[in-house]
Amino acid sequence: MAFSLPKFSGFIEHKVDPKYRIAIPAAWRATEGEQFVLQQFLKNGLTIIRVLTVEALEAMVTTIENHSKRTAGEIREAKEFLYAHILTVTLNAQGKLLIPKEWSERANIKAESSIVLVGRGDYFEIYNSSDYPTIDRSQKARVFESMADLGIFSS
């Protein structure tokens, strides 16, 4: 089995322009005409914005559908909730992603504010710069505790 690097990795600090557009790094940009899917997501009590490829969204739906310990009603409701909290978008010719003002404000992102784009493998997340350190510290603590024996994250 061949290993391939994830499409979205690392983190990048950016600024939102006055029209709530975010410049996406060239390496993260979709091919021309490819769509991204925005998802409102709750993490550590904060609303954030996930940016998914269509394939990543399809994988989420497949995970929901194939969860053997759920009833048909629970699966249907989970998919309905997922679909109600997504929005399909495309990048403009300059590689900028328009985040609707309402979505931005729910995620504590204001026009001309600083943000952090964080690669998560097959998707990336957008955080207000002041919120990201809290999320990062919390995740770091959980990973260091649960994976300490592997020697990958600390010695």
The DSSP output letter for 121 is B
Share of the chain above pLDDT 70, in %: 97
Mean pLDDT, the chain, rounded, equals: 90
pLDDT value, residue 32 = 66
Residue 15 has pLDDT above 70, yes or no: yes
The helix/strand/coil state of 56 is helix
Q: Residue 148, Cα to own-chain centre: how many angstroms?
A: 26
The confidence band for 144, taking pLDDT boundaries of 50, 70 and 90, is confident
pLDDT in tens, 44-84: 888 999 999 999 999 999 999 998 788 999 999 999 999 99
Q: Is 129 within 8 Å of 13 (Cβ atoms)?
A: yes
β-partners of residue 26 are: none
pLDDT tens, 109-136? Answer: 999 999 999 999 999 999 999 999 988 9
DSSP codes of every residue in 50-107: EEEEHHHHHHHHHHHHT-TTS-HHHHHHHHHHHHHTEEEE---TTSEEEPPHHHHHHT
Neighbours of 55 (CB within 10 A): 13
Whose tokens are 């394939």? That residue is 55
pLDDT at 155: 65
Nearest one of 112, 87, 106 to 47, comparing CA atoms: 106
Tell me: the pLDDT tens digits for 26-54? 888 877 667 899 999 898 888 999 999 99
CATH, domain 11-148, list 3.40.50.300, 3.40.1550.20, 3.40.50.2300, 3.40.30.10 = 3.40.1550.20
Q: What single-letter DSSP state applies at residue 45?
A: T
Q: How far apart are CA 34 and CA 36, in angstroms?
A: 7
